[in-house]
Amino acid sequence: MSEITKLTSVAELVKQCPTARRVFDKYGLKGCGGEHGPTEPLAFFAAVHKVDVDKLVEELNAERRNPTRETYVYEEALGDYIYRRFFKAGIAVVLSVGCLWGALNLLEISLRKNFLQLHLVPAIHAHAHAMIFGWVGLFVMGFAYQSFPRFKYTTLWRPDLANLSFILMLVGIVARIGAELLQPMPVGFGLGILSAGVELAAVGLFLTIIFKTARQSMEPHNPYEKFIFGAFFWFLVQTIFSAVFFFAKATAAGEHQLIQRIALLDGPLRDIQLLGFATLMIAGVSQRFVPAVYGLGSPAKDRQTLIFWLINGSLLLNITSYVLMLTTRNPLFAAGLEASYILMAAWAVLLVKQLRIFARPAESDRSFKFIRAAYTWLLVAMGMLPFLIVYGAVTHQHFAHSYLGAYRHAFTVGFVSMMILGVASRVVPILAGVDSKQISGLWGPFILLNVGNIGRVALQILTDFIPQVAFPLVGFTGFIEVTALAWWGIDLWHTMNLSKTHRSKLLQVPLPLPAR
């Protein structure tokens, strides 16, 4: 074998010198790419894993010249492939009770030409819960179980408990959907209790596993980790708050009190889920992942700490101002709400500058268009927020439901879902040992998802001005997005199945017994 350089492929090297896997595993490879590892060059591996590439090449050349006598046998453990069941379950959720159900709800709204359909509230809330816990939550958990130990040069603590958290999360999602649809029947209340308990247990297990994994590592804390652990905090808060929200609805004495409780609690819950949990997680992963993977370089000035506190501070100001404005009817709190919106727009701009999203990437990949589009949608969504109160005043609405819904869709589908598509489309081929340049470029789902999102955001706002034209059209935008997600999901599922590793059955995982 010729001299190893930073352009040598990881897979090529491992095939010719199997004991080199020990060197890679020390720096976090740990099962990625199957038996032979990913097809990416050493320079890419070093950049992603924050390893000095010259030192890595030196160690690998030393191993090549004098291989370890002990034979290296590749063995895949549960912690190496558990992410696949989270990702596949997330795809199944978004294509059923997630995006598809949302599209059906939207179609009924468009036919009735009114977004305020009280009879649809249980279905809409069930759909929203499935999207947060089953789409965003499952992908976050799967990605964390796979990537966090490797970024910290350690192994996942208690993968059997990680598998249990997966089962509990699925049970909780199904139970909550039933609870939303069956209330106020006693069985609905019982399912709500079951869902609250198992989801809290699932999230608690997840956080325990990640924290225990972090404690195993000797690596120092990195600045991006405050975003990750901040997201974990809001993940736990929103899990508790979501249960409170359900029981507040289930115990409402009549339709009037139900509407009041939804008005008071729904907004803060969605903001915690989207602007706390999802945003901080995406911001943290982006700091660690995006510049290194795409070769965007470092920002001229590091503003991570400022961005972190702006995200959390604006969220707290938003929730406080909203609750006080609604409960006291004092218009002065509207100023606090407007200030929070301006701060949100500010951190969005700073985050885009921090990541240098619009710089020329040194590494081209099919996934980067999703990443760049996601941050474009973030700027659009957060740019819309400061005009929410003004829009309501101009259109003579006490609550500009159409405009707020358009903003949320721009944020959830345009930013959050687009980031899930982008990150997963880059990570999964690496984990499966597949060259991403040899598989689909995903232009079809990319174009359809953006077309659907543009149509939904624009047409939802236009329902306030030309309802006879906008309502019939907006009902079809959801199905365009479902088509995009199905196209992407099938491709990702197929790529996961290309891995040359075995696929352990879910129920064959050992029971999570206490360690001896």
The answer as to whether 342 is a domain residue is: no
Task: Compute CA distances 158 → 78, 181, 208, whole Å.
Answer: 10, 35, 10
Structural domain harbouring 405: 356-501
Give the model's pLDDT for residue 37.
81
Task: Using alpha carbons, select from 419, 414, 426, 486 the residue that is nearest to residue 451.
Answer: 414
Give the model's pLDDT for residue 515.
42
427 and 370 in a single domain? The answer is yes
Measured in whole angstroms, the distance separating CA 261 from the mean position of its chain's CA atoms is 28
The answer as to whether 180 is a domain residue is: yes
276 and 378 in a single domain? The answer is no
Contacts of residues 102-109 at CB distance under 8 Å and 24 or more positions apart, as own/partner, are 102/127, 102/131, 102/478, 103/478, 103/479, 103/481, 103/482, 104/478, 106/456, 106/474, 106/475, 106/477, 106/478, 107/475, 107/476, 107/478, 107/479, 109/471, 109/475
Give the model's pLDDT for residue 255.
92
Residues forming beta bridges with residue 9, ordered by sequence position: 41
Q: For residue 505, is it left (φ>0), alpha (ψ between -120 and 50) or beta?
A: beta
The answer as to whether 19 is a domain residue is: yes
364 and 425 in a single domain? The answer is yes
Give the model's pLDDT for residue 18.
83
Positive or negative, the Cα torsion across 136, 287, 26, 31?
positive
25 and 146 in a single domain? The answer is no
Give the model's pLDDT for residue 115.
85
Query: How many Å apart are CA 461 and CA 85, to the nearest integer?
Result: 38
The answer as to whether 322 is a domain residue is: no
146 and 207 in a single domain? The answer is yes
61 and 141 in a single domain? The answer is no
Q: Which of 278, 294, 310 is the last residue of a domain?
A: 294
SS3 365: coil
255: Cβ contacts below 8 Å, ≥ 6 apart: 118
Q: How many CB atoms lie within 10 A of CB 104?
A: 17
122 and 249 in a single domain? The answer is yes
Query: How many Å apart are CA 53 and CA 47, to the nearest integer?
Result: 8
The answer as to whether 347 is a domain residue is: no
Q: Are 294 and 357 in contact (CB under 8 A)?
A: no
User: What does the longest C-alpha to C-alpha distance in the chain come to?
Assistant: 79
Q: Any idea what the Cα angle at residue 410 is, between residues 345 and 354, rounded to 5°?
A: 40
129 and 207 in a single domain? The answer is yes
Can you give the pTM of this predicted structure?
A: 0.93
192 and 283 in a single domain? The answer is yes
Query: How many Å apart are CA 188 and CA 364, to the nearest integer?
Result: 50
88 and 142 in a single domain? The answer is yes
The answer as to whether 310 is a domain residue is: no
- B/e letters for 216-225, b = 16+ CB within 10 Å, e = fewer, are eeeeeeeebb
Query: How many Å apart are CA 507 and CA 163, to the nearest integer?
Result: 10
The answer as to whether 4 is a domain residue is: no
Burial (CB < 10 A; 0-12, 13-18, 19+), residue 204, is middle
The answer as to whether 340 is a domain residue is: no
Helices 186-216 & 225-250, crossing angle to 10 degrees? Answer: 170
Number of domains in the chain: 3
Query: How many Å apart are CA 14 and CA 9, to the nearest integer?
Result: 9
pLDDT per residue, tens digit, the chain (516 aa), is: 578 888 888 888 888 888 888 888 888 877 787 777 888 888 888 888 888 888 888 888 888 888 877 776 777 789 889 999 999 999 999 999 999 999 999 999 999 998 888 889 999 999 999 999 999 999 999 999 999 999 898 999 999 999 999 999 999 999 999 999 998 899 999 999 999 999 999 999 999 999 999 999 877 888 999 999 999 999 999 999 999 999 999 999 999 999 999 999 999 999 999 999 999 999 999 999 999 999 999 998 999 999 999 999 999 999 999 999 999 989 899 999 999 999 999 999 999 999 999 999 998 899 999 999 999 999 999 999 999 999 999 999 988 999 999 999 999 999 999 999 999 999 999 988 898 888 999 999 999 999 999 999 999 999 999 999 999 999 999 999 999 999 999 999 999 998 755 454 555 555 555 443
